[in-house]
Every structure is written in structure tokens, then in C-alpha cells.
Chain A
Amino acid sequence: MRTRLPLSLLGVAVAILWLIPLAWAIDTSIKPEGETTRVPVTWIPDVFTLDAYRDVFTASDVPLWLLNSLVVATGVTVLTLAAASLAAYGFSRLDFPGKNWLFALILAGIMVPPQALIVPLFHQMQSLGLIDTYWGIILPQLAAPVIVFILKKFFDGLPREYEQAAALDGASRLRMFWSVVLPMSRPVLAAVGVFTFVGAWNNFLWPFIVISDPDLMTVPVGLGTVQSSYGLRYAEVMASAVIGGLPLVVVYAFLQRHVIRGVGDAGLKG
């Protein structure tokens, strides 16, 4: 056990190295604009000020973009879990014509890079009239075959006896799914849900393409398109980056144990 101390020192050193970029952003955001470009750089500002944050909250669209991100990510997560878990249950427990063929089609989709579909998808959104709408951002992200795959694998491993008992009580298939299988699947649904939410919240390319109205932009798109309009106001840029980045980080700080355990439950460990 003599190796314990140097190893934990190494761990803390890497952790601190990994925190520096974020710490530097926060540090810049609480400086007055004049001090952000000082050479040599300072870690402890001469003057602490929250002016940059005040300006971002009162005179920018960042709060609106946070709201848009929340709407989009919640919509994507709820609808993805609903559609994918229903499908996974059907493929796991029921037999129907074309089942194997359809499941193979879904498996093949796991390899499809959505980034390669942006051009035809945009064309399609134009004809559906969904450009510059929440639905235009949300709908394509629901076609997530990997979620169906993970949930089906998990359902396959659940014992069938509970459903059989429910059948004796005259429960329908939908009832078994809702009252028996879903409650048993909470950890895996939470894990898959967290990653879907993070992915949708932070997705850049697709919302960037389908949204041009600043009022409908999500955080990643909004911050990306207006960063130039800040000019040389680095404290304000960093303040908006901190505000745009902090919500999920704070939530994760409280939930990290569950997230890590959920990854194991979801069978993502390989």
C-alpha cells in the first residue's frame, strides 16, 4: 500500500489540471474588462466585479437561450424515452410479422452518422415547414436506434414472472409495460435519459442548421452566432460561457453517483 500516496497525489494533480480551463473562464468573468487583457496575466483580480454577469442577464439573449435549451432537451428526452421504450418492449416481449427484419434495420441505423444527413434532412424540414420551429430541432433527434437497442437488451434481462402474474389478473400488454416493466427499469431509464438530455441540450450542428431566428436558438447555437458581436469584451464572453455551461454541471455535481451507477446498469460497460 506504499503506492497509495503518490497515486492519489497524481489523481489530484490531474483533477486540478482539468479544472484550470473552467477556473480561468470564471476568473476572467469576474474581472473588469480592462484587466482581462493585462499582460502578464493575473489570477487574482485587483477588483472583483459581477458587472459582466449583470450585463449578460439584462442585455443579452442568454437567459432566453437557456429556456429554449430546456424546452428542447426536455422534449427530446421525454419523447425519445416514450417512443424507444415502447418499441423496445414490443421487440423484447412480443412477436409480430417482420419483427426480425425491422430490428435488423434499427441495428443498422446505429452506425449511421446523423452529421452525414444534415443536407437531406434540411431539405425535408423545408418541405414540412419546420424550419425555425422547436419541432424542427426535436423531431430528427428522436430517431435514436441505440436507445431502442440498450432498452431492449435491458428488458430481455428482466424476469417475465411479474408480467405473467399481471396477466393472471387480466392486465393488458400496455398495462404490463406501464405498471410492471417501466417501474423495474427506472435506473436504466434514468441513465439513458440523462445522456439523451445532455446530448440534446448541447447539440450544436443540427439546431445551428435548422434555426436562424435568435429567439429560438439554444445555448450552443446562440453563443456561437453572437460571440463576434461582443467585440473585445472578454469578461462578458466568459460570463455568458459560464452561465451557459453551469446548469448541467451543477446538476451533475449532485447526481454523479447515480449517473455512474446507471452507466453500469445500462450495460454500457461493454
Chain B
Amino acid sequence: MAVETVDTPVRDTVPTPARGERSLTGLWFALPFLVIYAVFMIWPILAGLWSSLFNTSLAGGDVEFLGLSNYAELARDGAVWDSLWNTIYFTLLSTPPLVLVGLVMALLAHRARRTGWLLRFSFFMPFLLPVTVVALIWLWIYQADFGLLNAAVQWFGGGRVAWINDERTAMWAVVICTLWWTVGFNFLLYLAALQGIPRELHESAAVDGASPRQRLWRITLPLLRRTTGLILVLQLIASLKIFDQVYLLNEGAAAPITRPLIQYVYEQGFTSYRIGYASAISYLLFLIIMLVAFAQFKIFPAGRDD
């Protein structure tokens, strides 16, 4: 009530968007960000598109207009499709465990009382490590001769496996390392969502005789649907952009059998100095990520407040 009495005279002195008063003040506020955004986001997008139409090299030299022939070459380049398949295969293998394990971890940590600190710390801690540290640790664990994983396998009576170099295990090795490193972020989003569920819901259901299992399936999981949708999309996009850990694990491999698309972009642009061609491949990835993003809007329409 007190607020309303103050409100009336103030309306005249403070222009609000609701009243449709325009001035340039807001533009001044937005300007620093807009300049950075234009120079380091919009411009590279356009410059990349432009140079994908040319035979441009980082090493300089003649620039020749090629039209769409970079894209035609890309369509014929087996290495593009191999690395695209690696990227998609990685995304398909990694997304389900990254979402599910994150959910299970959040449920465990949310219920835990005395062990809560330990659980929250161990589940999220790897996310804070630089990717190189993660790669060094896992290269060491996967090491064929004296690595921890083979020691465990042999203890159970199995034989030695060259985890990174064996075609059958290389992608799984990347997936397990990625799961360990990044699931903490999904865990944190789920945990925050769980903490947002009113306790009364569970209490009244318990009074009505609902078992913990029924409360999980009937209350908790349905209320987490929006969070799951968000995590799923963020995870798909993150997995499609995979590069760092694969590149670093590949350094320890005989041949890059798990090479993802971004690594091929990197090799074409910075090893072979073919800017135009590398840009064209970037746009293929761009297109795929946009499709996933738009699919998200179709599958979760107005997913913000349902």
C-alpha cells in the first residue's frame, strides 16, 4: 500500500518502457557490449562466410573467388564425413550417460545429510579442472603398460587393452573421460532444480501414504522435466562442439581415430593454412547445431514457462 502512494507521482519522473518513452540513454548502456559483440561475433561470422567462398590462405598469397566449390569439395571429402560421424557418434554415446548420471548424482546428493559435502565436492570437482589436466590424468589411467585401468582389468582376470589406440575402445575412452570431467555441471543444474521443489509437496504426499519410490516417479521426475529438456539441449550442443579432450587424448594415440569435426577445421585452417576450406567446414557444423537448437523449440515449445 505504501508503495502505491509513492508510485503515482514517481511515474512522471521515471520514463519506463511500458510508457513508450524513448531516449538514447539505453543505447549508451548497451553500447560497450554491442561493439564487442559486433567485432568479435558478428564480424567473424560474416568474414568466415565470405572467405568460405574464396581460396584464402593464412600464409597470404593470391585470393581467388571460388563460389561454392569449397562446399563441393567438402561434400566429396571423406575426412569431413568421417570426422562428422565421429562427432555425431560421440554425441550419441555421451549424451544419455551425461544426463542420467547427472540426475542420479543430484538425487543422491540432495537426499544425503552427513555425506552431502563429500558428494557435492566429488561430483562437481572435476568440472573445475583444466582440460589438459583431465587429459593428462586419463592418458595416465589408460596407459597400456602400467595404467590403472589395465591393472584393474587384469586384477579381474582380463587382458591388456590399448584403450586410446584400439579402434573398439578409443571412443569409449573419450566418453568416459568426458563423463567424469563434465557431468558435474549437469549435476549442479539438477541439484538446483531439486532444491527449488517445495518440501510441502513431498510431505503431503508422504502423509497420503506415497512411498519414496512413488514420490520419485510421480512428483520429483515430472517436476524436473523442464530442467531435463534444458540439460538435454545444452548437452547435445556441447557434445557437437567437442574438440579439446579428444585432441589432447589423440596426442597420445598412434592415429587420430576419434578425430572430431572441429579438429579437422583446426587442421585445415592452421596446419594446411586453408582458411576458406576450413571456414566452409565450420559452417557445416554451424548448420547442424542450428538444426538441433531449432528442433529444441519444436520439441519444447515455449519451454520457458510451461
A219-B132 contact given A37-B146, A139-B36, A270-B226, CB 8 Å threshold: yes
Cα of A126 to Cα of B58 in the assembled complex, Å: 10
Cα of A227 to Cα of B243 in the assembled complex, Å: 18
Asked if B146 contacts A119 (CB within 8 A), the reply is no
User: Is A111 at the interface (CB under 8 A from chain B)?
Assistant: yes
Number of interface residues of A (CB under 8 A): 105
Kindly list chain B residues whose C-beta atoms are within 8 Å of the C-beta of A36: 146
User: Is B103 at the interface (CB under 8 A from chain A)?
Assistant: no
Asked if B289 contacts A95 (CB within 8 A), the reply is no
A99-B124 contact given A83-B33, A123-B58, A202-B131, CB 8 Å threshold: no
Q: Mark B11-29, 1 if CB is under 8 A from A, else 0.
A: 1011111001111111111
Kindly list chain A residues whose C-beta atoms are within 8 Å of the C-beta of B209: none
Q: Mark A125-167, 1 if CB is under 8 A from B, else 0.
A: 0100000000000011011010010000000000011011101
Which of A3-11, A46-54, A182-190 is found at the contact surface with chain B?
Answer: A3-11
- Contact-size category for B: 35 or more
User: Is B212 at the interface (CB under 8 A from chain A)?
Assistant: yes
A112-B17 contact given A14-B105, A82-B32, CB 8 Å threshold: no
Asked if B3 contacts A91 (CB within 8 A), the reply is no
Asked if A87 contacts B289 (CB within 8 A), the reply is no
Asked if A21 contacts B105 (CB within 8 A), the reply is no
Residue picked from A7, A20, A164, most chain B C-beta under 10 Å? A164
Residue picked from A89, A143, A177, A204, most chain B C-beta under 10 Å? A143
Cα of A168 to Cα of B266 in the assembled complex, Å: 56
Kindly list chain B residues whose C-beta atoms are within 8 Å of the C-beta of A264: 192-193, 195-196
User: Is A32 at the interface (CB under 8 A from chain B)?
Assistant: no
Asked if B33 contacts A205 (CB within 8 A), the reply is no
User: Is B230 at the interface (CB under 8 A from chain A)?
Assistant: yes
Asked if B278 contacts A119 (CB within 8 A), the reply is yes
A140-B40 contact given A18-B126, A86-B29, A119-B279, CB 8 Å threshold: yes
User: Is A57 at the interface (CB under 8 A from chain B)?
Assistant: no
Q: Mark A21-58, 1 if CB is under 8 A from B, else 0.
A: 11011001000000011111100000000000000000
Interface SS of A by simple majority: helix
A143-B36 contact given A15-B119, A111-B289, CB 8 Å threshold: yes
Listed from nearest, the 7 A-B pairs whose CB atoms lie closest are A94-B26, A90-B29, A87-B33, A96-B26, A11-B108, A120-B48, A220-B130
Residues of A within 8 A of B (CB): 3-4, 7-8, 10-12, 14-16, 18-22, 24-25, 28, 36-41, 82-84, 86-87, 89-91, 93-99, 102, 105-106, 109, 111-113, 115-124, 126, 139-140, 142-143, 145, 148, 160-161, 163-165, 167-168, 173, 177, 198, 201-202, 204-205, 209, 219-221, 223-224, 227-228, 234, 237-238, 241-242, 244-245, 248-249, 252-253, 256, 259-261, 263-264, 268-270
Knowing that A98-B27, A111-B237 touch, tell me 16 more A-B residue pairs with CB under 8 angstroms: A11-B112, A18-B126, A40-B151, A91-B26, A94-B26, A113-B237, A113-B240, A115-B262, A121-B44, A123-B47, A142-B33, A145-B37, A145-B41, A204-B130, A227-B132, A252-B124
Residues of B within 8 A of A (CB): 3, 6-7, 9-11, 13-17, 20-30, 32-34, 36-37, 39-45, 47-48, 51, 58, 104-105, 108-109, 111-113, 115, 117-133, 135-138, 140-141, 145-146, 148, 151, 154, 180, 188-189, 191-193, 195-196, 212, 226-227, 229-231, 237, 240-241, 243-244, 248, 251, 262, 265-266, 269-270, 275, 278-279, 282-283, 285-286, 289-290, 293
25 chain-A/chain-B pairs, Cβ below 8 angstroms:
A8-B108, A14-B104, A15-B119, A15-B123, A18-B125, A21-B126, A83-B33, A87-B29, A90-B25, A97-B24, A109-B42, A112-B45, A116-B286, A116-B289, A120-B48, A164-B14, A204-B244, A219-B132, A220-B130, A220-B133, A224-B251, A256-B124, A260-B195, A263-B191, A270-B229
